[in-house]
Amino acid sequence: MIETFEAIARNYRQNEGNVISLLQDTQEAFGYIPREAIDYYSQTLGIASSRFFGVVTFYAQFRMKPTGRHKITACCGTACHVRGADRILNSLRLELKLKPDEDTTKDGEFTLEQVNCVGACSIAPVVIVDKKVYSKTTADNILKQLRALKGPSHDEK
Amino acid sequence: MTKNKTVVNVCMGTGGMASGGAEVLQAFRAELEAAAFPAEVKEHCLAHRVGCRGLCAKDVLVDVLTDGSVTTYQFIKPDMVPRIVTEHIIGKTPVAEWQVGEDYENFHQKQVKIVLSDCGKIDPEDPDDYHAVGGYGTARDVLTEWLPGEVIEEIKASGLRGRGGAGFPTGLKWELGRKARGDIKYIICNADEGDPGAFMDRAVIEGNPHAVIEGMIIAAYAIGAHHGYVYIRAEYPLAVERLKLAIERARRRLFLGRNIFGTTFDFDIQVKLGAGAFVCGEETALIASIEGQRGMPRPKPPFPVNKGLWQRPTVINNVETLANVPYIMRRGYQWYASHGTERSRGTKVFALTGKIKNPGLIEVPMGITLREIIEDIGGGIEGGKKLKAVQTGGPSGGCIPANMLDINVDYESLAKVGSIVGSGGMIVLDEDNCMVNMAKYFIQFTQEESCGKCVPCRIGTKRLLEIMERITKGQGKEGDLELLDTLSNSIKVTSLCGLGQTAPNPVLSTLKYFREEFEAHVRDKKCPAKVCKDLITYSIIEGACKGCGACLRACPAGAVTGEKKKPHKIDPDICIKCGACFEACKFKSVGRD
Amino acid sequence: MARITINGKTIEVADTATILQAAKLHKIPIPTLCHHPKLTPFGGCRLCIVEVKGMPKPVTSCTTTVGNGMEITTSSPYLQELRKTVLELILSDHPNDCMICEKAGDCTLQNLAYDYGIRENRFQGERRTYAKRDNNPFVERDLEKCILCGRCVKACDEIQGVEAIDFGYRGFNSKICTSYEQDLDCEFCGQCISVCPTGALTGKLWIRKGRKDHQEEVDTICTYCGTGCTITAHVKDNEILKITSKEQTMNEGWLCVKGRFGYRFVNSPERLTRPLIKRNGAFEEASWPEALDHVAKRLVEIKAGYGADAIGGLSSARCTNEENYAFQKLIRAGIGTNNVDHCARL
């Protein structure tokens, strides 16, 4: 872990990076921002850790917890919204048994992410499951994909 | 694009990729390789990627250019490729039933393409392709033959105004940037396209990143900047990749870096990724973000053009604005100004989406009527439904009701009816869309995206949302509509930045044109469009139900019960009103009331 | 210099001044919450909006610099209405507990609510609620009362250079946070408390000890170090409840942890009030003449036996300057050694 932090911090120094690019590189490497990273950068770069925390919690991109094995990104842009993105999202949350403030299932299998717009409005509504884009999709269709990912052990009621 | 050669263009913008563009391209390459006359075909046929040509709804779109004629295919899947190769490319007979129809022609007919003129034709990853159509030559000519002041005059005369939303005259901004005191200046390309439901900038960068780079070179030369930044959304991975590649390749050809085009002018571009904050589209917040801080706007003045990035003079232009620049410089201000209206010159790119038959990316001359866009280009409303309104300008804009369809689309006319051109989102709403819900959607969006710095935006939008929420839940109170109006107007006047100042617009404009729909929610506790889920119930129409079980399987809440081949039932206490059953039923036997 | 007109009155001010500074200079009141004269402008509370002729809408006076010929209106029914709406919005996300709030009577927000006569609030809705308490020893942080003016963040950064806190999260959920929302662990200079316009930040040492109206204010000089900050002791029933410092002092109202929080020795029950002499390994109370005689006798003996430099004197910052002066005089002139020091020597 420390070696990765070191490499990212070195890149930051060499390429006139900023706090955001530093954090983006960190998230790229770990899938989230480990607390150890903030402590490390704060100490080695002399930037107050409160500043890092402020930036991490400001931008929607940054996560402070690891993501699940599968990542589902539901687009909630306007074009998707008028074509029922809400219904898809609700069904997904229900299927994954996520509480309002949760985005990752307890077993660490799925992370459900909501984004403002992926810019694929002509083929709305759009859901991305593990980088595969499902266009003009429905709740039913996405639930099928999820159940398939869950594997045969899942008990179909 | 060499003559006498067959070229296959596969659309590979985000839309094309999502529909399997990469697989189609791969299939063409493989098929051509394995074709009966490999040598001939390989030598004479190139399959390559191109950027977005607008009509993503028909993706994957494929052009086959052979013997000087172009045939365009729609909805192409990899398994269709062998037939196209055998019958068309080798056999010289196009596959008629897969070709695009009349609506494809109509979609393009009324458009005037400047910014998008090379998108969908050139390989966005290859600067030579852009070079071949005159690209970068303009920047070289400007740098060697024009004085910076002359460039500014040319842009001023063209009448180009900022395409990011506010419509500030670009030439004037450059002039202020040139005059601003400071030895280090910056040019920033704002590609933080945050409006949900808009993808103009994404498509331009994916389709022709070089035009943006060339525009930046010219802008930098005009204002005297040697450093440029492109601030682009991380949610656009393909655009980021192509942009970085384009910059790298432009650098290799000495179009960027030291002494570019052999002149004494230095200019280079750095890409900064946004981290998911809509407010960073606001100039001062964008600057804070590039500096690595929380994207909180600061009061203006001082304006960025005097005190911007690192406190230095900074000119910020939107992607589309910059992409216009090379074309204006190449063909002259008169040519550009001949498009559009007196005060809104040129063209504007819109992302036409929503309940439209042919959603996509369009470029139209300013001043075109909304009717021409919806009916002629977009092919009308899908599914024979009735148009209700057109939303423009996204969360900062407003709704234009169906009876105003003959309005001209330009800065002034849209502002007059309470909407804006904005960055170019154009969302078509039909009778199935609830306007109260739409207004709530936008206010929820801005409320979530508020940076929290100033009171009216931080708390005001929250209260607006709460009022909207209770209205859509049937808990609206007498006086709520008046309260919405008062609060909205206060927020507009007292907020610190453009986000808060425009956040109430969707509420105000829907309140103005669709008051009766609000009243139905408040007074009658009904949602006329049957969207607001607390005001509707789902039930199964017994006589129509075939007992197929589709609704039962679709229901995520377990609210549907019933035996096979017998009418099912929805338990209203368990039902979460997600509408999955409604969508799943093929026999229209789920009722919504 | 710029010649401007405020509310019909023409005045001349430096052309670098903000409208707010110009108005203040001429005793024209403009309400503010996030503004602090010693900190960089923020422009977040929007209360200081004024109308400037020719500008399409009101501007914040704290961030707008004057310009020659500017015609400014600081108060009008329109402005009052806008300010009232903003105040109502702030109060709609603020606990209504002035009755038990430490800051009552000394609270800018409370005073503004009074000025604008806000009792009913048109905008009721969700309020931020935080269960977690900060367990640091000095600063009581009640973030439900925080109006996010950012003054504490700026004081911590611009004045103290510590950056222990910053804005966290965004929008309605914005919150002043330490890193990872841990308990505050800083220098505890308390600058943040001194700039907080509401009851969000108070001192743990003086909670429930008495509000402003019941205190007598006594200006004095901090005894801890050579800086000599001017402090104000807030006294009730002959007991110091808290220490503050006024903005117009040479230390500009800023203090350190000792000056702000280290006052409790004054009323400490452990404080010595009678001399003690150690006899047979235990302290015994003695009379003043007895004690002084004992000290004088031993000092003379030591000096005679081992020389003056065998003696050293250490005095306390908690004594007055006069006492300390007298003490070093005794050691230097009386005993004849320079071995004298003082814990406040910086």
Instruction: Calculate the average pLDDT of chain B.
Output: 91
Domain spanning B537-592 has what CATH number? 3.30.70.20
Give the chain B residue whose CA is nearest to the CA of C175.
B452
Contact call for A77 and B197, based on CB within 8 A: yes
pLDDT above 90 coverage of chain B, percent: 64
Rounded Cα distance, B326 and B211, in Å? 7
Instruction: Tell me whether residue A121 is in a domain.
Output: yes
Is residue C190 within 8 Å of residue C260, measured between CB atoms?
yes
Is residue B316 within 8 Å of residue B111, measured between CB atoms?
no
Contact call for A61 and B394, based on CB within 8 A: no
To which residue do tokens 């690209």 refer?
B135
Residues A79 and A134 in one domain: yes
pLDDT digits (tens, 9 = 90+) for B488-523: 999 999 999 999 999 999 999 999 999 999 999 999
Q: Under CATH, which architecture does the B6-100 domain have?
A: 3-Layer(aba) Sandwich (3.40)
Q: Which range marks the domain in which residue A7 is found?
A: 2-58
Contact call for A62 and B275, based on CB within 8 A: yes
Nearest-5° Cα angle at B105, B104 to B109: 125
Per-residue pLDDT at B43 exceeds 70: no
Q: What is the pLDDT of residue B190?
A: 96
Residue in B450, B486, B487 nearest the CB of C171 = B450
pLDDT digits (tens, 9 = 90+) for C178-213: 999 999 999 999 999 999 999 999 999 999 888 888
Q: What is the pLDDT of residue B41?
A: 58
Domain spanning B435-522 has what CATH number? 1.20.1440.230
Query: Strand B6-11's sheet: what is its strand order?
Result: B45-50, B6-11, B62-66, B69-73
Counting one residue from chain B and one from chain C, the pairs whose CB atoms sit within 8 A come to 99
Residues C41 and C13 in one domain: yes
The CATH number of the domain holding residue A123 is: 3.40.30.10
Residues C217 and C260 in one domain: yes
pLDDT digits (tens, 9 = 90+) for A131-145: 888 888 888 888 888
Q: How many domains does chain A have?
A: 2
Rounded Cα distance, B460 and B491, in Å? 6
Rounded Cα distance, B218 and B212, in Å? 10
Residues A76 and A16 in one domain: no
**Shortest Cα distance from C162 to chain A (angstroms)?**
8
Residue in B198, B290, B295 nearest the CB of A58 = B295
pLDDT digits (tens, 9 = 90+) for B271-324: 999 998 999 999 999 999 999 999 999 998 899 999 999 999 999 999 999 999
| Cβ count near B412 (within 10 Å) | 15
Instruction: Tell me whether residue A64 is in a domain.
Output: no
Per-residue pLDDT at B430 exceeds 50: yes
Neighbours of chain A (3+ CB pairs under 8 A): B, C
Q: What is the pLDDT of residue B1?
A: 42
Neighbours of chain C (3+ CB pairs under 8 A): A, B
Q: What is the pLDDT of residue B291?
A: 94
Nearest-5° Cα angle at A127, A126 to A132: 110
**Shortest Cα distance from C121 to chain B (angstroms)?**
12
Q: Report yes or no: C178 at the A interface, CB cutoff 8 Å.
A: yes
pLDDT digits (tens, 9 = 90+) for B212-243: 999 999 999 999 999 999 999 988 888 999 99
Assigned token pair, A21: 């690019």
pLDDT digits (tens, 9 = 90+) for A42-67: 999 999 999 999 999 999 999 999 98
Give the chain B residue whose CA is nearest to the CA of C146.
B455
Dihedrals phi, psi of C344, to nearest 5 degrees: -95, 5
Rounded Cα distance, B4 and B65, in Å? 9
**Shortest Cα distance from B456 to chain C (angstroms)?**
6
Paired sense of beta strands A70-75 and A110-115, if any: parallel
Q: Which of A58, A87, A105 is the last residue of a domain?
A: A58
Q: What is the pLDDT of residue B38?
A: 54
Per-residue pLDDT at B472 exceeds 90: yes
Q: Report yes or no: A122 at the B interface, CB cutoff 8 Å.
A: yes
Give the residues of chain A that fall short of pLDDT 50. 154-157
Residues of B in contact with C85 (CB under 8 A): 456, 486-487, 490, 494
Contact call for A82 and B394, based on CB within 8 A: no
Rounded Cα distance, B354 and B507, in Å? 19
Give the residues of chain C that fall short of pLDDT 70. 344-346
**Shortest Cα distance from C186 to chain B (angstroms)?**
22
Contact call for B490 and C86, based on CB within 8 A: yes
Q: What is the pLDDT of residue B112?
A: 92
Residue C236's DSSP bridge partners are C239
Contact call for B454 and C44, based on CB within 8 A: yes
Q: What is the pLDDT of residue B196?
A: 84
Q: Report yes or no: C130 at the A interface, CB cutoff 8 Å.
A: no
Instruction: Tell me whether residue C170 is in a domain.
Output: no
| Cβ count near C105 (within 10 Å) | 14
- Residue B292 identity: G
Query: Tell me, what's the ipTM?
Result: 0.89
Compute the average pLDDT of residues B404-412. 95
Q: What is the pLDDT of residue B423?
A: 85
Is residue B37 within 8 Å of residue B44, measured between CB atoms?
no
Is residue B214 within 8 Å of residue B138, measured between CB atoms?
yes
Instruction: Tell me whether residue C222 is in a domain.
Output: yes
Rounded Cα distance, C15 and C2, in Å? 5
Residue B375 — very low, low, confident or very high, per pLDDT cuts 50/70/90? very high
Given the candidates 3.10.20.600, 3.90.1150.10, 3.30.360.10, 1.10.3720.10, the CATH classification of the domain at B347-430 is 3.10.20.600
Per-residue pLDDT at B67 exceeds 80: no
Q: Which of C59, C75, C91 is the last residue of a domain?
A: C75
Q: How many domains does chain C have?
A: 3
Residues of B in contact with A95 (CB under 8 A): 556
Give the chain C residue whose CA is nearest to the CA of A57.
C169
Q: What is the pLDDT of residue B44?
A: 61
Per-residue pLDDT at B565 exceeds 50: yes
Contact call for A35 and C167, based on CB within 8 A: no
Residues 6+ apart with CB under 8 A from B385: B355, B430, B431, B432
Residues of C in contact with B497 (CB under 8 A): none
Is residue B449 within 8 Å of residue B279, measured between CB atoms?
yes
Rounded Cα distance, B316 and B228, in Å? 10
Instruction: Tell me whether residue C200 is in a domain.
Output: no
**Shortest Cα distance from B457 to chain C (angstroms)?**
8
Counting one residue from chain A and one from chain C, the pairs whose CB atoms sit within 8 A come to 40
Is residue C13 within 8 Å of residue C21, measured between CB atoms?
yes
Q: What is the pLDDT of residue A157?
A: 38
Residue in C164, C169, C170 nearest the CB of A50 = C164
Assigned token pair, A40: 């490390």
Is residue A126 within 8 Å of residue A115, measured between CB atoms?
no
Q: Which range marks the domain in which residue C311 is found?
A: 276-342
Residues of chain B with CATH 1.20.1440.230: 435-522
**Shortest Cα distance from A53 to chain C (angstroms)?**
5
Rounded Cα distance, B537 and B576, in Å? 10
Dihedrals phi, psi of B563, to nearest 5 degrees: -90, 160
Assigned token pair, C22: 């110009």
**Shortest Cα distance from C73 to chain B (angstroms)?**
16
Compute the average pLDDT of residues B182-206. 91
Residues A44 and A95 in one domain: no
Contact call for A57 and C163, based on CB within 8 A: no
**Shortest Cα distance from A110 to chain B (angstroms)?**
17
Q: Report yes or no: B14 at the A interface, CB cutoff 8 Å.
A: yes
Q: What is the pLDDT of residue C346?
A: 54
Residue B487 half-sphere exposure toward CB, CA atoms < 13 A: 32
Given CATH 3.40.50.11540, say whether it is the number of domain B127-336: yes
Per-residue pLDDT at B3 exceeds 50: no
Residues of B in contact with A139 (CB under 8 A): 554, 556, 578-580, 583
Per-residue pLDDT at B376 exceeds 80: yes
Instruction: Tell me whether residue A108 is in a domain.
Output: yes
CA C170, chain centre distance (Å): 27
Rounded Cα distance, B466 and B447, in Å? 10
Give the chain A residue whose CA is nearest to the CA of C170.
A58
Residues A8 and A52 in one domain: yes
